[in-house]
A and B are shown apart, each in its own frame.
Chain A
Amino acid sequence: MYSEKVMEHFRNPRNMGEIQDADGVGTVGNPVCGDMMTIYIKVKDNRIEDIKFKTFGCGAAVATSSMITELAKGKTLEEALKITRKDVADALEGLPPVKMHCSNLAADALKAAIEDYYKKQKGKVENQ
């Protein structure tokens, strides 16, 4: 049912965990729906220097979270914002159709983390 790539990321998820002093944190999904993920980013010189994830959900949810951290690491924020759900699914050699909608939330979580970062930066500027 899952591609070998999905299973490989499920078995060995990349960048799993939390960043305690993250510059941006984004959470999407809902445990009620069965999928929820949080992405943590560290930003340096407008680039994603470090990224980690935590995920509650099915195999696809874990694999997409793992994959987005690989896709986003080292990218500028503008580049990272352009990563779509489809990019994540393609990088995983496809997802079963039923998973495309419910479990493919990683791109949204990354966007939420970047938006959180922008918001915090704006707050810092206003406080100065």
Chain B
Amino acid sequence: MWTPKKVYMDHVAGKPVDPRVMDAMLPFIREFYGNPSSIHSFGHEPRKALEEARAKIAKLINAERAESIIFTSGATESNNMAVKGVAYRNMDKGKHVIASSIEHMSVINPCKHLKTRGFDVTFLPVDKYGLVDLNSLERELREESVLVSIQYANGEIGTVQPVREISQIVHRKNAYLHVDATAANGQVPIDVQKDGIDLLTLSSNDMYGPKGVGALYIRSGVRIEPIIHGGGQERGLRSGTENVPSIVGFGKAAEIALNEMQSESGRLSKLRDKLIRGLLESIPYAFLNGHPRNRLPDNAAVRFNFIEGESILLSLDMMGVAASSGSACTAKTLEPSHVLLATGLKHEEAHGSVLFTLGRQNTEDEVDYVVQIMPDIVKRLRAMSPLTPKELQVDV
């Protein structure tokens, strides 16, 4: 068996920075340290680079104008700004906010915060594949609804939402649609105009840019207030001196993502399907999490009954493979992932989930390696587990 030294399949947790991105960033760490707001010559290059990066990101999502892109410190800040900024600015219309129950915690927790400030919050259910229930969206929308926040795709189960249909429903009731594209950006084509998106969260590291930088697209005309106040940068919507080197890297990453998306997503989808098929065919009581077709190219989320996720991750790590899990034991909280539970999985099923997220450096050999080692890992842990049915008990 071909044995690689290390196989990294946890791209949802963090991605390597593309070397071309690093090259683009270096001059803005070494030479062009000026403040883009300065009037003197030291501010010129940083300002120019900042606006070029903004244009590249606007192009990636077909924004109507570059000024609609506001740079932030990352997806968590963008999501906070979208949810709280829109809610607080539109209280004259109403105090009702809707989000799906499988949003990232950086949407869920700002929504819960709004609840403590007198807002009414509705979390929409999803079906067993993680698709948002459009009927309940339609039912829950009312005159006082100001914002609906639904992710483009879920990082944990890979399910891609029908954003255009959602947008039509939301706009019929004159609410704004915020879409968190953290997991999807760089992998699937996003067109904010055709998709009918009012606010869109973008993350740099999720498209091989540096960590600690992101953006919020805000369609012109959307009423929003800042959540970070200060010197008035980013059209007054996000104060603080712009993180120019990281923003330049983010812009370069967006440019590369746009150019290479089609071929790379095609390649990853094939690897993903091979990995999923290989695992489900060689291991009994193994199931796919998320949607069988409408899913992100990088996402292979699988669960194994009778065993627990962290034990699987440790076993994989012993074989050089890095993956992640929706298991309680790897998180700070003891509850299994809210995403997996929302899709109707029982706690003990959710505990046995493993998430492989593929990336640019993964090869078919690596996928074959994981498919080869996984059956023995599962067998060993099942032999240990008191939950394993008798017919699956084997000596290891």
Contacts and interface: CB of A to CB of B under 8 A. Distances in A.
A and B from one assembly? yes
Contacts of A103: 329
Interface in A74-127: 98-99, 102-103
Contact of A34 (B306, B347, B383, B386): B347
Contact of B308 (A2, A7, A56): A56
Contact of A58 (B306, B310, B386): B310
Interface string A20-40: 000000010001111111100
A60 B328 CA distance: 13
B387 A57 contact: no
Contacts of A7: 314
A32 B348 contact: yes
Interface size class of A (residues with CB under 8 A): 20 to 34
B384 A55 contact: yes
A34 B328 CA distance: 7
B327 interface: yes
Given A34-B328, A34-B347, A13 B384 contact: yes
B334 interface: yes
Interface in B293-339: 306-311, 314, 318, 327-330, 332, 334, 336
A58 B327 contact: yes
A23 B73 CA distance: 61
- Main SS at interface, chain A: mixed
A69 to B, nearest CB: 13
A32 B386 CA distance: 14
A37 B311 CA distance: 14
Contacts of A61: 308, 311
Given A32-B347, A56-B308, A98-B332, A10 B314 contact: yes
A56 B386 contact: yes
Interface in B241-272: none
Contacts of B386: 27, 36-38, 54-56
Given A62-B384, A98-B332, A33 B327 contact: no
A33 B384 contact: no
B247 to A, nearest CB: 33
A34 B329 contact: yes
Interface string A33-67: 11111100000000000000011111111100000
Contacts of A102: 328-329, 334
A35 B314 CA distance: 16
A19 interface: no
Contact of B387 (A31, A60, A62, A98): A31
A4 to B, nearest CB: 13
Nearest to A55: B384
B318 A57 contact: no
Given A34-B328, A102-B329, A59 B385 contact: no
A77 B361 CA distance: 56
A34 B327 contact: yes
B314 A56 contact: no
B350 to A, nearest CB: 9
22 contacts: A2-B314, A11-B318, A31-B347, A31-B348, A31-B351, A32-B346, A32-B348, A33-B347, A34-B328, A34-B334, A34-B348, A35-B308, A35-B329, A55-B385, A56-B308, A57-B311, A58-B308, A58-B311, A62-B311, A62-B384, A98-B332, A102-B334
